[in-house]
Amino acid sequence: MAYDFVPEKVSDIFSNKKLKDVPALEMAEVYSFLREKEPKIEDPIAIDTAKSALKILPSFEKKVNISLLKSKLKIKSIKIDFGRGSRGIANKSSGKVKPGGTNEDGSTNKGILFEKELTKALNDHFRGETLTTQKYKKPFIDCIEEIQKTYELRNKDVQVIPEGALNKRRPVTFMGDKIYIGGPNFKIGATVTDITLKTQDDKKKIDHVYLSLKYGPKVTFFNAGVGKILPKADLEKGIVQHPQGKAILDLFGISVPIFTSVFDPNSKKLSIGTVDTFKDIDKNRLKELIKSGVGYGYQLVHQASNGQIHNYEMTQSNLERASTPQSCIIVYGGATGQAKRVDILVETPMFKLQFNFRNKARGGVYPSHLMCDYTIKH
């Protein structure tokens, strides 16, 4: 069998014309179940479209019983087993998962590898060594040359300091009717830096250049607990009483009755589905939230899955473009309409953002966290 179709979102399954309706629906149920269990793993299954069969990543073997899974999700038409399929061998090296840069199986390690490789290349370059394509891939060379040109850095005047393991968490904070990631200070370079370039030239106005590294198609924006402001006791009654709970739902234009219905353990698939709230929300409040999360005062260095590296100087003017919302769509019940989650899809000229309210605990129902992932537009 050729398990060579690896979906990264539910819509990938439904848009594959080789899959019939019933197998596609069952595969989507399995995909959503696994994403709920391990949200950092975006590609938990590999599919053989010809045989209506799928393999679940081996990392789930201790967490998922296939027989129980098939019974729980009422799977009848597809075959399920554990395995990687035809996606190749994952990088199994260990490494600490960094806030703001986590990805699915193997990608976290690739992100750490990207940081190590770029640190070494920067050190070699600023020590005066010529970077050749025999030693480094061309995207690394182009990336370093662009950074040097942008900040007018001189060789031997720069110290390269790896700081990825020191990244600081930034919780959601409430100030009046405004909601922020970390707070209203948008100059966040020193907080989000993975590699810091310290200049030793007294004539330069900038003495630190902060590089925030991202890897893969999608990375984590933030992850904040909401259990205290959206307590189970209130949601069971179909209400939200906490002022901050009301504020965060109002920010996106989320209906309280529909929101509480989604997390009702006895509720079935909702017919409401998707709602466009962009015309009704306070766009400035949403923009402030995004601005505080994205920030400025650093260089965003993003390595795509194909190895290409994209550089963005995050200035105040670029932050305005990156944080201006152009849409806001609420997806009640997630992509299937049956999941115990509410997704919010927001686009800006620079990012595709996906916020979601859900419970991170195994078997949990009521929302414990508000999370957000983003994809960078190129």
When mean pLDDT is compared across 148-152, 320-324, 332-336, the lowest value belongs to 332-336
Q: Is 19 helix (H, G, I), strand (E, B) or coil?
A: coil
Examine the domain organization and report whether 77 and 157 are in the same domain: no
Q: Where are the alpha helices (DSSP H) in the chain?
A: 10-14, 21-37, 66-73, 107-126, 138-151, 189-192, 232-236, 243-252, 256-262, 283-294, 316-323
Q: Which domain holds residue 25?
A: 10-82
Q: Where among 252, 272, 303 does a domain terminate?
A: 303
Taking residues 104-111, what's their average pLDDT?
57
Question: Lowest mean pLDDT: which of 39-43, 101-105, 107-111, 133-137?
Answer: 101-105
What is the reported pLDDT for 39? Answer: 78
Decide if 87 is inside a domain: no
Residues 299 and 153 occupy one common structural domain: yes
What are the backbone dihedrals phi and psi of residue 130, each rounded to the nearest 5 degrees, phi first? -75, 125
pLDDT at 201: 65
β strands within the chain, DSSP E:
45-48, 53-56, 79-82, 158-162, 172-175, 178-181, 195-199, 208-215, 219-225, 274-276, 298-303, 309-314, 327-332, 341-347, 351-358, 369-376
- Give yes or no for a contact between 3 and 46, defined as CB atoms under 8 angstroms apart: yes
Domain boundary among 66, 82, 98: 82
> In angstroms, rounded to a whole number, what is the distance separating the alpha carbons of residues 173 and 171?
6
pLDDT tens for 146-204 read 999 999 888 778 899 988 766 567 788 999 889 998 889 999 999 889 999 998 766 66
DSSP bridge partners of 303 = 215, 309
Greatest distance between any 2 Cα atoms in the chain: 71
| Contact status, residue 186 vs residue 295, Cβ threshold 8 Å | yes
Where does the pLDDT of residue 206 fall: very low under 50, low under 70, confident under 90, or very high at 90 and above?
Answer: confident
167 with 19, same domain: the answer is: no
207 and 261 fall within a common domain: no
Q: What mean pLDDT is predicted for residues 359-367?
A: 86
pLDDT category, 110, cuts 50, 70, 90?
confident
Cβ atoms of 373 and 354 within 8 Å: the answer is: yes
Q: Are 216 and 143 found together in one domain?
A: yes
Q: Give percent of the chain above pLDDT 90.
A: 46
More confident residue, 22 or 318: 318
Residue 153 belongs to a domain: yes
Q: Which of 82, 97, 122 lies at the terminal end of a domain, its last residue?
A: 82
Percent of the chain with pLDDT over 70: 90
Which of the 8 DSSP states describes residue 187?
A: B
pLDDT computed for residue 100 by the predictor: 39
On average, the pLDDT of the chain sits at: 85
Residue 364 CA to its chain's centroid (Å): 21
Residue 26 falls inside a structural domain = yes
111 and 196 in a single domain? The answer is: yes
pLDDT in tens, 226-269: 999 999 999 988 889 999 999 999 999 999 989 998 998 877 66
pLDDT at 63 over 60: yes
What was the pLDDT predicted at 112?
Answer: 82
* pLDDT confidence of residue 205: 63
21 pLDDT above the threshold of 90:
no
Q: Is the pLDDT of residue 101 over 60?
A: no
pLDDT at 318: 93
Q: Is 99 a domain residue?
A: no
Compute how many other C-beta atoms are within 10 angstroms of the C-beta atom of residue 57. Answer: 24
Average pLDDT over residues 4-22: 81
For the segment 80-90, what is each residue's pLDDT rounded down to a tens digit? 999 888 764 33
Please indicate, yes or no, whether residues 155 and 299 belong to a single structural domain of this protein: yes
Q: 97 lies in a domain?
A: no
Which pLDDT score is estimated for 165?
62
Per-residue confidence band for 306, with pLDDT thresholds at 50, 70 and 90 = confident
Per the structure, how many domains does the chain have?
3
Q: What confidence score (pLDDT) does residue 91 get?
A: 32
| One domain for residues 233 and 353 | yes
Is position 206 within any domain? yes
Is the same domain home to 131 and 209?
A: yes
pLDDT at 273: 75
Structure tokens that stand for 319 in this block: 């932050």
Q: Are residues 195 and 246 in the same domain?
A: no
- Is the pLDDT at 105 greater than 60, yes or no? no
Domain check: are 189 and 251 in the same one?
no
67 and 121 inside one domain: no
Residue 354 lies in a domain: yes
Amino acid at 236: E
Angle 146-316-301 from CA coordinates, rounded to 5°: 35
Q: What is the pTM of this model?
A: 0.67
Predicted confidence band of residue 93 (pLDDT cuts 50, 70, 90): very low
What is the mean predicted confidence (pLDDT) over 57-67? 90
For residue 336, tell me if it sits in a domain: yes
> Which pLDDT band, with edges at 50, 70 and 90, does 97 fall under?
very low
Confidence class for position 102, pLDDT limits 50, 70, 90: very low
Q: Which of 165-179, 301-315, 352-366 has the lowest mean pLDDT?
A: 165-179
